[in-house]
Amino acid sequence: MNNAKESNHENKAKEIATVALGCLLHDIGKPIQRGDNAPFNKNHSRFGKDFIDELAKERHLSDNLKTFYWKAILDSIRYHHAKKMEGPYNAEAYFAYIACEADNLASAHDRKTAPFLYDLEDNRLDECDDAVKSKWDSERRLESIFTYFTKLTQGNDEKKLKEEDGKSFYDLWLKKNNTKDEQNENSLNPYPYPTDKKHLQTNVKKQYESIRDKLRKLAEYLIEKKDFGIEDLNKVSYHLEELFQFVPPDTYTGHTNDVSLYEHLKLTAAIGSCMFSYIYDIHPEWLKDYTANQKDGNPWNALYKKEFRNEKAYVLFKADISGIQEFIYNISSKQALKGLRGRSFYLELLCQQIADEILKVFSLGRVNQIYLGGGGFSLLLPNSKNLETDLNKIEENLNKWLLEKHDAKLSIAFGYTFLSGNEIRMDSEGAEPRKPHYLNTAWEEISKMIGEKKLSKFKNNLNEIFSFSKKNHEECKSCHKETSHIEPYNFS
């Protein structure tokens, strides 16, 4: 029985990793298309799938692409836009439905400022479907977000957005390889500072070709595999961040474009993995009998028709460590700078380790990590069956460990709230007066939950706190912890 449970858990973890990888790779055709000599011969979905197919054929690994997991990824790349001839209902597996909806939600969250780039059912249109209407510009650059704090905001009209004064942009920027070809006067600066339009690099097509070549190396690594795990997902995410962190997500010139292609792919993967995990637990019947069509009996039509967007499938989660100031600055005066740096680094490692452990419980990768820093982190989790039980258990065990290791000087508190797909989306209707986005309210609810927990921290560990040890403990001069195992430390 235990073996069966482990096998089911392994299969679920593989499928979650595959869903996330499909979402993470769904737009790889965009930079390839922008660097191509004939970008309008086909859309970016075809560019992406053909890129993988041709590479597999070249390396005599086409059979690997016939596995269930590779078919799912290729379907996500090829059919993630809802079109009559190319929508997810033409795919072989349900993964394409998830990639399509996750892409719609991620796009609507970060850059829905051009209503005519969406169809009547609110599906994202391809930027090359109508080059005139979408104002295709392959040299479009990522804009610095700092230029919009005072002058421009999301949703401004087209006339204002034409003004270039005060705007700054990023070059596509790739790390240099130590080759003679790249050590020339036209090579990019070693650090990606935003600059005005006049000082941007002009060889955009060449930069996209370089991105394609580096992407090829990553694809070669993936094609060697027949199935995927969380480690593969994290590795691909790491390399895509390097490649796409300064690549704009689209080429439309009539709206703000300050969210990178990587951030869009990462959010799509986070939403998609949560969506699948929720369906796996709450709608298992959807996974039993899938037919790739739009017949009334196909349960995935609920996802395609947006009915699913009202379900609370997602969890916005935050963890916050208390006692940081006292922990960092309560050090010995000798070698104080090293002590400060060491403790700050320790806290960062501690936060990352805790975040990884929570993601591991839900079989998720680091794409679901929204941010980490300042003694805390935030995640996007699925609203699974045992969510609250699992989180309470993790929180209790962590506080027990912190109490034992740090004498109650550090504690951790979790806060979370539930979200639907509609609550993730950005409100772009422009109604006056503008209502606060639901996510603003969600963060307030989370902060309130964490604040209440901080008032009663270690409430489940009172026996340990009020018990007195019979052993003779001494105080460490470096960290001021009382322990029976003090050894001299060499500060040199």
| CB within 8 Å of 454: residues ≥ 6 apart | 320, 322, 411, 413
Pick the closest to residue 219 from 202, 240, 249 (CA basis).
240
Cis bond upstream, residue 31 (ω within 30):
no
Residue 168 in tokens: 């700054």
CB proximity list for 155: less than 8 A, separation 6 or greater: 113, 428, 430
230 exposure class (CB count in 10 Å sphere: 0-12, 13-18, 19+): buried
Q: Do 455 and 139 form a contact (C-beta atoms < 8 A)?
A: no
pTM of the model: 0.86
Count of CB atoms within 10 A of residue 484's CB?
Answer: 9
**Alpha-carbon separation of residue 181 from 35, 199, 240 (angstroms):** 19, 22, 23
Looking at residue 40, what is its pLDDT?
Answer: 80
Residue 491 to residues 29, 59, 337, 487, Cα–Cα distance (Å): 54, 55, 12, 13
Cα→Cα distances 139→1, 135, 248, 283, 290, Å: 58, 12, 10, 44, 41
Separation between Cα atoms, residue 483 and residue 477, nearest integer Å: 11
**C-alpha triplet 59, 231, 111: angle, nearest 5°:** 90
Domain boundaries, the chain: 2-309, 312-466
Q: For the chain, how big is the Rg over CA atoms in Å?
A: 25
pLDDT tens-digit series, residues 52-99:
999 999 999 999 898 889 999 999 999 888 765 566 767 777 888 899
* The pair of three-digit structure tokens given for residue 122, joined into one six-digit string: 């609110």
Extract the tokens encoding 429: 């209707």
Confirm if 48 and 215 have CB atoms less than 8 A apart. no
The 10 Å Cβ neighbour count of residue 476 is: 15
3-state secondary structure the chain: CHHHHHHHHHHHHHHHHHHHHHHHCCCCHHHHHHCCCCCCCCCHHHHHHHHHHHHHHHCCCHHHHHCHHHHHHHHHHHCCCCCCCCCHHHCCCCHHHHHHHHHHHHHHHHCCCCHHHECCCCCECCCCCCCCCCCCCCCCCEECHHHHCCCCCCCCCHHHHCCCCCCCEECCCCCCCCCHHHCCCCCCCCCCCCECHHHCCCCHHHHHHHHHHHHHHHHHHHHCCCCCCHHHHHHHHHHHHHHHCCCCCCCCCCCCCCCCHHHHHHHHHHHHHHHHHHHHHHCHHHHCCCCCCCCCCCCCHHHHCCHHHHCCCEEEEEEEEECHHHHHHCCCCCCHHHHHHHHHHHHHHHHHHHHHHHHHHCCCCHHHEEEEECCEEEEEEECCCCHHHHHHHHHHHHHHHHHHHHCCCCEEEEEEEEECHHHHCCCCCCCCCCCCCHHHHHHHHHHHHHHHHHCCCCCCCHHHHHCCCCCCCEECCCCCCEECCCCCCCCC
Q: Is the dihedral of CA 254, 255, 258, 264 positive or negative?
A: negative
pLDDT tens for the chain, residues 1 to 492? 344 444 677 788 999 999 999 999 999 999 998 888 888 888 888 999 999 999 999 999 999 898 889 999 999 999 888 765 566 767 777 888 899 889 988 888 776 545 555 555 555 566 665 554 556 777 888 888 776 654 544 444 444 444 455 578 787 776 555 444 444 445 555 567 777 777 777 788 888 888 899 999 999 999 998 889 999 999 999 999 989 999 988 877 767 778 899 999 999 999 999 999 999 999 888 887 555 455 556 677 777 667 788 899 999 999 999 988 888 777 666 667 777 888 889 899 999 999 999 999 999 999 999 999 888 999 999 999 889 999 999 999 999 999 888 888 899 999 999 999 988 886 544 334 456 778 888 999 999 999 999 988 888 777 777 775 545 667 666 666 666 665 655 544
In this structure, are residues 384 and 281 in contact, taking their beta carbons and an 8 Å threshold?
yes
pLDDT recorded at residue 6: 47
pLDDT reported for residue 159? 45
Which region holds residue 272: left if phi is over 0, alpha if psi is between -120 and 50, else beta?
Answer: alpha
The correct answer on CATH 3.30.70.2220 for the domain covering 312-466 is yes
Kindly report the length of the chain. Answer: 492
